[in-house]
Amino acid sequence: MGGSSLRPRLFYFNTGFFTQKQVRRIVELAGYDLTLGKPGSDDLIAVWGKSPTSGRGEKVGDLTGANVVHVEDAFLRSIRPGRDGEPPIGLTIDHQRPYFDASGPSDLETLLATSAFDDTAQMDRARLAMARIKDLSLSKYNDFDLDAPLPDPGYVLVIDQTKGDASITYGGADASSFKEMLAWAQEDHPGAKIVIKTHPETQGGHRAGHFSEADLGPNINLLSTPVPPYPLMEGARAVYTVSSGMGFEAILAGHKPVVFGQPFYAGWGLTDDRQPIDRRRRKLTRAQLFAGAMIEYPKWYDPYRDQLCALEDVLSTLEARARAHREDKRGYVALGMKPWKRKPLTEFFGPMQFAKSREAVPQGSDELVWASSPLRAESRPQSFNLEDGFLRSKGLGADLIAPLSLVRDQTGIYYDATGPSDLESLIAASVDLPDHARQRTEALRRTIIRKGLSKYNLDRDMPKIEAGGREIILVPGQVADDASIRFGTTEVTDNAALLSRVRADFPDAYLIYKPHPDVEAGLRDGKIDASEADQIAQDADPIALIAEVSRVATMTSLLGFEALLRDTPVRCYGQPFYAGWGLTDDRVAMPKRRTARPDLTALLYASLIAYPRYFDPITKTACPPEIVLDRLASGDMPKPGALNRLTAKLQGIFAGYAHLWRR
């Protein structure tokens, strides 16, 4: 097509394909060359659905004989609507007509009518993705509060749409269809409470809906606040729609919605169709409908790797971004933060204020406090303790390398065993981990092991070990005044005591003592006379060491967690977050709160996915942990600037005065 190029030329006649960079990029990645000019008969013309500008392209197509390609948002789009300026994370590209145009078959309808949908792996994948979407309550738009109040269960849910929506007109409906729908909802469920759910664009003030206060009555209420869709569906006894995408979500939620238009999901035996489509005679299962509409049909986009991707990657992206949006939308006041932390925190959490004392924090503000600070967050709903995550950076925090993961804990902090933390609650809850979460966690774990990743990911050598057949035990040193020692040990409380205790417990073992990298760099205290060790692994690769030992013996070091992740036995002489759950050899009494018995996958899910937040240093946005693994493994991230290096070097020189700059 279009001369010698193997890629079809795709001409466009509306500015959206030029100004919306992400839309343009997805189309290009899908295999098209977007271009301006006059198309030939063997070229293609792109139009946006049935938008007001689509007629231009269709008219040019009629004049030139070029075929029209219909581009639209995919069924999972973004956090906020496009009219708020947020680009889509996926597109549908249809060579017949937009998927919502019921006047004839679209590529999606053809796919649903003809695809075998008999591949077991694909159907399993569809079921897992459906469950994940429902568990996370992901929707086309995701600007809602997961804890938003919902009506008491037992209501009939009626879904409104915006006036002028093309899916109404081209779905065989009009404004009267909404009045008919409400009347039938009342007729079918006499005396029942009716809840009318408004569209997100109506809630945002962009476009009016079909229902207003004038339509309300004693048993009819308007729900105009942003709420999560799947809990809303769960409380409904029935769902009524004209052609809304929420009708598709109702199917995924287990309903058989009553449909008054002719949307793409109607006519396959999963809806109560009040306006049947005669040509759609096939019966599909929910998983088959989902596989066609969500896995095979759309072009999904990975904004971090700048490539097309699978649906599962999109779910991870939306999960990370929706979480960040919900947690950070009120903004923060960061309390007592050192100057070097301010830019990384602002990038991670968005614009924030900084205050030196709690008295300076405005009443009612969300407050961030570094957990080891004397100003540690109070136990109140709007106060959060902050700490590095467990996959932190390529380089030391003491070298002022900004973190790629942080934890934000409202209850306590993970290393403080004297009280509960959000992580403890997440670990306890992970006992009933769903299959989709287990599979994702196991894949994440395999990647960490394969790429040899750890908290700091320093480039270190592997020392030669000559144990002479003796059992090899790795004893990781820690920073002397580390908060996890102060709040997570009761008997063995320093590196020298740890080494002596391990020697007493394993008199014939070959002990390798690994100093903490901050201590090796001269940035923190913790150096000891390690003469009881058989070998001191100075500046050694800790992950390579784990692979060579039979066990790790630690107070509260994260190396114990990294060993556990790699199936290396761990003996704990302290109370780290990963101990006390039945997965470690615990030598001291554990907090009585830790009664749950998760397996390793459950512990890893809570610790690496559910608890931390992750930040991509390239796109400067919230991201899933999988992206951070890629960045850490490749080193594809900005390098510290000259000022950062100078400040870190001065910090090393004046390490004795570390309290002046440390958190």
- Asked if residue 354 belongs to a domain, the reply is no
pLDDT tens digits, one per residue of 165-183: 999 999 999 999 999 999 9
How many angstroms separate the Cα of 142 from the Cα of each of 73, 100, 138? 14, 21, 6
How does pLDDT run across 371-420, given as a tens digit for each residue?
988 888 766 668 999 999 999 988 776 667 899 999 999 999 999 999 99
Dist. CA 317–CA 628, nearest whole Å: 12
Q: Rounded to the nearest 5 degrees, what angle is found at the Cα of 149, between the Cα atoms of 334 and 197?
A: 115
Q: For residue 640, name the pLDDT band (cuts at 50, 70, 90).
A: low
The answer to the question of residue 309 being in a domain is no
Amino acid sitting at position 6? L
In a domain, 6, yes or no: no
Q: How many domains does the chain have?
A: 2
- Could you tell me the pLDDT band of residue 529, with boundaries at 50, 70 and 90? confident
Residue 71 lies in a domain: no
Q: Which of 600, 599, 605, 534 is nearest to 563 (CA)?
A: 600
Angle between helices 120-136 and 311-328 (to 10 degrees): 10
Residue 477 lies in a domain: yes
Alpha helices in 352-434 (DSSP H): 422-429
Domain that holds residue 259: 114-297
Instruction: Dig out the tokens for 242 from the structure.
Output: 């004209």
Of the residues 297, 315, 338, which one is the last residue of a structural domain? 297
What are the structure tokens assigned to 655, written together? Answer: 């390490």
In a domain, 261, yes or no: yes
Average pLDDT of every residue of the chain: 92
| 44 occurs within a structural domain | no
Instruction: Work out the pLDDT band at 352, boundaries 50, 70, 90.
Output: very high
pLDDT in tens, 45-68: 999 999 888 999 999 999 999 999
Q: Give the SS3 label for residue 408.
A: strand
Taking each helix axis from N to C end, the angle separating 120-136 and 435-451, rounded to the nearest 10 degrees, works out to 100
| pTM score above 0.75 | yes
Both tokens of 458, joined, read 């320093």
Q: Starting from the edge strand earliest in sequence, which strands make up the sheet with 621-623, in order?
A: 352-355, 332-335, 367-370, 383-388, 405-409, 612-616, 621-623
| CA-closest candidate to residue 572, choices 555, 551, 549, 550 | 555
Q: In sequence order, which residues have a C-beta less than 8 Å from that of residue 621 and are 6 or more positions away?
A: 303, 321, 324, 615
Burial of residue 431, with CB atoms counted within 10 A of its CB: 0-12 exposed, 13-18 middle, 19 or more buried: middle
What pLDDT is attached to residue 641? 55
Residue 315 is assigned to a structural domain of this protein: no
In the numeric block, which tokens belong to residue 597?
């018995």
CATH code for the domain in which residue 276 is found: 3.40.50
Nearest one of 42, 46, 21 to 34, comparing CA atoms: 46
Domain boundary among 600, 629, 647: 600
Q: Evaluate whether 457 touches 636 at the Cβ level (below 8 Å).
A: no
Q: What is the predicted pLDDT for the residue at 225?
A: 92
Which of 600, 630, 652 corresponds to the end of one domain? 600
- Cα distances (angstroms) measured from residue 443 to each of 54, 136, 311, 440: 43, 19, 16, 5
Helix (H) / strand (E) containing 258: strand 258-259
CB distance 326 to 361 below 8 Å: no
